[in-house]
Structure formats: C-alpha cells, structure tokens
Amino acid sequence: QLSFAMAAIVDSAPREKKLELLCSHPDLCEKVEKLSSLTEESREEQSRAGLHTLTVEERKKFLRLNTEYREKFGFPFILAVRNASKYTVLSAVEGRVGNDSETEFAAAIGQVHKIAW
C-alpha cells in the first residue's frame, strides 16, 4: 500500500531529513487561527475536531502550549486530527509537551504517518 511505502521511506531517512519533514508541516495552531484559508479537506478535519469551537480560555491554553512545544522541540505540534475532538487535541499537546526530545520526535513522525494514511 502507498502509505506503508511512504512510511518506510520516511523511517529510513536520516534524522535531519525527518526534521525537515516535521518543520515543513503546517502548524496546527496557525490552522486554528486561519480556518477560512485552509483547503476544504483540511477545514473539514479541523471542524470535525471542533477546533473552531475553542473557547477563549481553551484557545489561550492551546496557543501557550503550542508555543512552549515549538520552542522545546524545534518543530510544530503535529497530530492527526481526523477523528479527534478539541479535548483530544488539547490533551495531546498538554501531554506531549512534557516528553523528552527523542520520545517526541518519534511521536511526531508517527503522527505524520497517521496523517498520510
């Protein structure tokens, strides 16, 4: 299957290429701020996740955690939101920001694979 072949290519790539891939991924937080400018498919995914319904406090928390995450790891928070709720997204960023660098690097690559699938 195509997604497995793509995952194998990513997994066999050197770390610096994987980091380039992660850094080129759209920032989920920016997507929340710019829902109207997304592709139809991306907008539907973000809407199903309920990110457009974040309260003011939830949005502030998400922005704060997202900034902390990017500063700590050097790449944007990546999550396959296809079947996620806003609570899942907030919980994921809150939990993953506490990861060590290697654990989070692997988690982010895993999310890229889920998105490609």
The residue from 25, 61, 70, 113 that is catalytic is 25
Structure tokens at 13: 């790539």
In the annotation, is 25 catalytic? yes
Q: 73 near 101, Cβ under 8 Å?
A: yes
How many angstroms separate the CA atoms of 104 and 102, rounded?
5
Q: Tokens for 65? A: 């955690």
Which residues are known to be catalytic? 25
